[in-house]
Structure 1
Amino acid sequence: MDSRKIQVCLSPALLPFYDKENTVAVVIDIFRASSSICYGLANGAEAIIPVAEVDECRAYEGRMGCLLAAERNGEVVPGFDFGNSPFSYTANQVKGKTVVLTTTNGTRAIQQCLDASTVAIGSFLNITALVEWLRGQDRHVLLVCAGWKNHVSLEDSLFAGAVVARLKTSSSLLDDSAHMTAALFAEAREDIAGYLNNSAHALRMRHLDLAKDIAFCLQQDLVSTIPVLHNGRLVGLPTEGEAATTGIPA
């Protein structure tokens, strides 16, 4: 595609200002929804249904083959099977199951992208596969950072910059946010974990004893699954279907 636009939406609050026609929207919630979605589908989950509200998730209670996952403010909502920690998305827990998921930021951002041509999910866990797939798409790219309650988050912005840096060509049309995040990634690339050490969400998660989740979500190329939204369900692309082979045990 000549002169393909690559744009970065730094917060879901800005989404109404973006034209999503003929566009792949890549939703990014590094800590932790997008990482867990990629990992869960790679580990054999049949589908992940993203919903915005806790009550929408609870409405699936009792349906055969469904697991209910709900997270708010970094913690599992009482009464649900689990939240959005990748340690809950291993093969022995999700293989063959449909996970209905609601999170503080990520699933709400997904719901706000339904007018895009395609909605995909990005994380460090699948970054190389994602970029290779995006290269083959004859559409514009909008990288949507889920952030934290409509505030900008450093980890999502940094990942967006990593994708921009890999994806852009001499003919790409980058918006200012794409330039900014690519520069951010260039500064952080030698020590991403260290760069994010004092980010607001990393501090929040460590306060909740979730340091292992942070380390897990910053692993690169753990899986090659690319989640895409189809009829309200996130599924791996047909060419994918492998189980994760490293990281936490299946």
Structure 2
Amino acid sequence: MTNLQMTKNLHVCLSPSLLPLYKVDEYIAVIIDIFRATSSICYGIENGAEAIIPVAEVEECIAYRDKETGFLLAAERNGEVVTGFDFGNSPFSYTKEKVGGKTIVLTTTNGTQALHLSRSAKKIVVGSFLNLTSLCHWLKAQNENILLVCAGWKNNFNLEDTLFAGAVVDQLKSGNYKTDDPAIAANDLYQDGKNNLNAYLAKTSHSERLKKLGIEADIAFCLNVDITTAIPVLHGQRLIKLQ
């Protein structure tokens, strides 16, 4: 087999609105929503959540209240918990005490939307700084095209998701991957910010939104690197721990 035949694609989709430009079914998709959905999902699965069911709309989340018992319902819009739900997407709501052995139904402004738009992928996994290295080790072993899907903010580009995509590219670039321009740009951003993620991402628009809500601690927590090893993977309708 020639090197050309062995080359895999490592691409970055900078916004869910750009997904129609990709043949998503040819990739493993990594969903990225650093502030805060994918960080909370990784933390919850690490802490023993049986499953997290991502749904696109608040109404879908409400429907689970009627058809299932014992589920925790989590809904976030514009950075705040939707009234009437158990919690939103703060990582501090996904501790062992709260989610261990539980199934959570989750809808968020950006992350769950990006996931649903990526459903045609060969496989969907969830990434965050919390599980960065374990995720990258697994991706290296798959011998598949990889699409890093940045959830962004309401279909716009955002810095934190792109920076994380760059961190993944940085760990995978020694492999036999063909990168696209967004992947190269994301890696360049990561090189600028990797020595102090908190300082670099303090200027992001979403961190400013969260600060106004008084939840700076969430931002700091989401920038912890490699404090978990669990990789959430979509199995049917549920995100579970990859075995």
Question: Shorter-chain TM-score category?
Answer: over 0.9
TM-score, structure 1 length as denominator? 0.93
Q: CA deviation at 1:19?
A: 1.0
> 2:84: which partner in 1?
79
Aligned to 1:121: 126
2:45 aligned to 41, 47, 61, which one? Answer: 41
In the TM superposition, what is the alpha-carbon distance from 1:150 to its structure 2 partner? 0.4
1:60 corresponds to which letter in structure 2?
Answer: Y
* Letter aligned with residue 173 of structure 1: K
- The root-mean-square deviation of aligned C-alpha atoms, in Å, is 1.0
Partner of 1:149: 154
**Alignment equivalent of 1:185, drawn from 182, 187, 190:** 190
Q: Give the superposition deviation at 1:20.
A: 1.7
Helix, strand or coil for the counterpart of 1:59?
Answer: helix
Which residue among 6, 10, 14 is the counterpart of 1:10?
Answer: 14
> What is the CA–CA distance in structure 2 between the aligned matches of 1:59 and 1:199, rounded to whole Å?
34
Identity %: 55
Q: 1:152, 1:170 → 2: CA distance? A: 27
1: distance between equivalents of 2:26 and 2:59?
32
Measured in 2, the distance between the counterparts of 1:80 and 1:60 equals 12
19, 34, 38: which one aligns with 1:30: 34
Q: CA deviation at 1:2?
A: 1.6
- Structure 1, unmatched stretches of 5+, are 239-250
Amino acid in structure 2 at the alignment position of 1:26:
V
1:225 to 226, 230, 233: 230
After the TM superposition, which segments of 4 or more aligned residues of structure 1 sit over 4 Å from their partners?
none
- In 2, Cα distance between equivalents of 1:112 and 1:232: 13
- Give the superposition deviation at 1:170: 5.8
d(CA) in 2 for partners of 1:216, 1:170: 30
1:208 equivalent in alignment to 2:209: no
* Residue 111 (structure 2) pairs with residue 106 (structure 1): yes
CA distance in 1, matches of 2:6, 2:205: 38
Structure 1 residue aligned with 2:179: 174
CA contact (8 A) 2:25 2:120 kept: yes
Which deviates more from structure 2 when the two are superposed, residues 167-176 or residues 3-12?
Answer: 167-176
- 2:157 aligns to what SS in structure 1? coil
- In the alignment, the residues of structure 1 paired with residue 32 and residue 115 of structure 2 have an alpha-carbon distance, to the nearest angstrom, of 9
Show CA shifts across 1:120-159 (max 9, x none): 0000000000000000012100000000000111000000
Residue type of the alignment partner of 1:35? S
Q: Deviations over 1:92-111 (max 9, x none)?
A: 11111100000000001000
Match of 2:93 in 1: 88
Q: Tell me how far 1:179 sits from its aligned partner.
A: 0.3
Separation of aligned partners in 1, 2:142 and 2:232 = 15
Q: TM-score, normalised by structure 2?
A: 0.96
